[in-house]
Amino acid sequence: MRTVLGCIADDFTGATDLAALLARSGLPVSLRIGVPSEDESAADAAAFEVIALKCRTTPVAEAVEEASRAFAWLKRTGAVRFFWKYCSTFDSTAEGNIGPIAEMLMTELGVRQTIYCPAFPENGRSIFMGHLFVGEDLLSESPMKDHPLTPMRDSSLVRLLAPQVGGKVGLANRHVVARGAEALKARLEALADDGVRHVIVDAVCDEDLRAIAATTADFPLVTGGSAVAGQLPRLYIEQGMVLPPSARRSGSPPQGGQIVLSGSCSAMTRRQVAHYGSQSASLRLDPLTLAAEGAGAAEAWLRQQSPDAPKLIFATAEPDDVKRAQEKLGLEKASQLVEQALADLARAAFRRGIRRFVVAGGETSGAVTKALGVTRLEIGPEIAPGVPWTFAEVEGERIALALKSGNFGRETFFEDALNLLEAA
């Protein structure tokens, strides 16, 4: 099958989010972990191909190089349209990597302009006058201001993007978007004539996203969150670019024990950890203890638990505790210790027969998925908007993984996820 849209996601939860929203169409979606090797055939490519990278906070040159290898592989699938997926809260460092990767893709594709639309109204992310809101709060006043790796202290997407790119940044605001696809097209053309290469596009509801998708369905490159991409499959079907879906069947969920691993410190994950921890065996990881003694005690704790019993291991902590650990260890060391420990514990859990993993946190999911040696994920049922169950093969065994973005899901997400698998 020829791929109609080749997608690159900057983290693993972002990739499963995007794959879930594309899969709502019923069309085939393939999710590959990391850049496929050069000899990996593109012959079995799906209509939608998503490559999950872990490049949200890596140095710019490294991130651009990895994304350009992903792009080169995606071109082999026959794709001529591409989507660059980043977080609905525009998480990036001061230098990137949203802008630099977009510019690399623009150069490769020879396009003079692209759009940026991280809005995800179903999950409370909206953009108005170029300012990103989380629920009713400006991004900079939301819990994202305390993110351990990418604290977001400004809400203006124009101001955030401008230092990341060489070209001019502009805005297509809600008044234009609300007038529909033709008005938006005219605005983008006028901006392009003024030399504006990067356009933030407002969206506060799904109707806005439909207008944006209708305007950009033919663009070689669109960038944004999963919600705008989720509008594309319907348009592609209407335009005859893909056949309507036949019934999609995902295999039965794997049997085996369960574990919840959380390295996210978001406000929502903190509530989810508190809720689930009150009804299951739980163990807190402290970066300072990990630095001094390693993860041996946690591995011993895991060995004492029955594989089938509900259990939670978390490093999730309040912003002040995260700050204290980062002051003592340095930001990178603190997060790396936690990611490594959770990755090692996931391996240990797999060896103990655990086959159902719920993981909270994008970077954390990247570390765990890589440690398990997963290379491809099949998309299963959606647990909460943007969080599907996924299935993979590890050492010949089928496992289930739910990779939860820090901010997604309701308070009962962990039990919701495991219950859904039980019911499947």
Ligand X SMILES: Nc1ncnc2c1ncn2[C@@H]1O[C@H](COP(=O)(O)OP(=O)(O)O)[C@@H](O)[C@H]1O
Asked if 407 is part of the footprint of ligand LB5GJZVW (rule: CB under 6 A), the reply reads yes
Asked if 335 is part of the footprint of ligand LB5GJZVW (rule: CB under 6 A), the reply reads no
Asked if 164 is part of the footprint of ligand LB5GJZVW (rule: CB under 6 A), the reply reads no
Scanning 73-81, 135-143, 314-322, 401-409 for contacts with ligand LB5GJZVW by CB under 6 A, the matching segment is 401-409
Angstrom CA distances, 269 to 10, 54, 74, 260, 316, stand at: 20, 20, 33, 12, 8
Which of the choices ligand X, ligand LB5GJZVW, none does residue 364 contact, using the CB cut-off of 5 to 8 A by kind? ligand X
How far apart are CB 348 and ligand LB5GJZVW at their closest, in Å? 23
Which of the choices ligand X, ligand LB5GJZVW, none does residue 265 contact, using the CB cut-off of 5 to 8 A by kind? ligand X
- In angstroms, how far is CA 366 from the centroid of its own chain? 10
> What's the burial of 154, exposed, middle or buried (CB within 10 Å: 0-12/13-18/19+)?
middle
How far apart are CB 357 and ligand LB5GJZVW at their closest, in Å? 15
DSSP assignment of 36-72 equals PPTTS-STT--SEEEEE---SSS-HHHHHHHHHHHHH
Q: Residue 175's closest CA among 159, 187, 191, 192?
A: 187
How far apart are CB 310 and ligand X at their closest, in Å? 21
Of 198-237, binders to ligand LB5GJZVW (CB under 6 A) are 225-226
How far apart are CB 183 and ligand LB5GJZVW at their closest, in Å? 26
Asked if 264 is part of the footprint of ligand X (rule: CB under 6 A), the reply reads yes
Among 148, 224, 225, 230, binds ligand X (CB under 6 A): 148
Torsion of CA 401, 405, 408, 411, to 10 degrees: 70
Please give the structure tokens belonging to residue 82.
């591409």
How far apart are alpha carbons 212 and 114 in whole angstroms? 12
Q: Residue 29's closest CA among 1, 70, 71?
A: 1
Which of the choices ligand X, ligand LB5GJZVW, none does residue 287 contact, using the CB cut-off of 5 to 8 A by kind? ligand X
Region of residue 138 (left: phi > 0; alpha: psi -120 to 50; beta: else): beta
Comparing CB distances to ligand LB5GJZVW, the nearer of 197 and 208 is: 208
Please give the structure tokens belonging to residue 350.
């797999």
Among 224, 310, 362, 409, binds ligand X (CB under 6 A): 362
Region of residue 372 (left: phi > 0; alpha: psi -120 to 50; beta: else): alpha
What letter represents residue 70's amino acid? Answer: A
Among 42, 80, 111, 149, binds ligand X (CB under 6 A): 149
Comparing CB distances to ligand LB5GJZVW, the nearer of 36 and 361 is: 361
Scanning 147-155, 156-164, 201-209, 303-311 for contacts with ligand X by CB under 6 A, the matching segment is 147-155
How far apart are alpha carbons 280 and 247 in whole angstroms? 37
φ and ψ at residue 158, rounded to 5 degrees: -65, -45
Comparing CB distances to ligand X, the nearer of 17 and 103 is: 17
Scanning 93-101, 216-224, 249-257, 362-370 for contacts with ligand X by CB under 6 A, the matching segment is 362-370
Q: Which residue is nearest to ligand X (CB)?
A: 406
How far apart are alpha carbons 252 and 399 in whole angstroms? 11
Indicate the DSSP class of residue 225: -
Among 6, 7, 8, 14, binds ligand LB5GJZVW (CB under 6 A): 14
Asked if 364 is part of the footprint of ligand X (rule: CB under 6 A), the reply reads yes
Of 321-350, binders to ligand X (CB under 6 A) are 321-322, 325-326, 334-335, 338-339
Q: Which residue is nearest to ligand LB5GJZVW (CB)?
A: 362
The H or E element that residue 52 is part of is strand 48-52
Residue 382: how many other CB atoms lie within 10 Å: 17
How far apart are alpha carbons 152 and 29 in whole angstroms? 31
Per CB under 6 A, residues contacting ligand X are 13, 147-149, 263-266, 269, 287, 315, 317, 321-322, 325-326, 334-335, 338-339, 361-364, 405-406
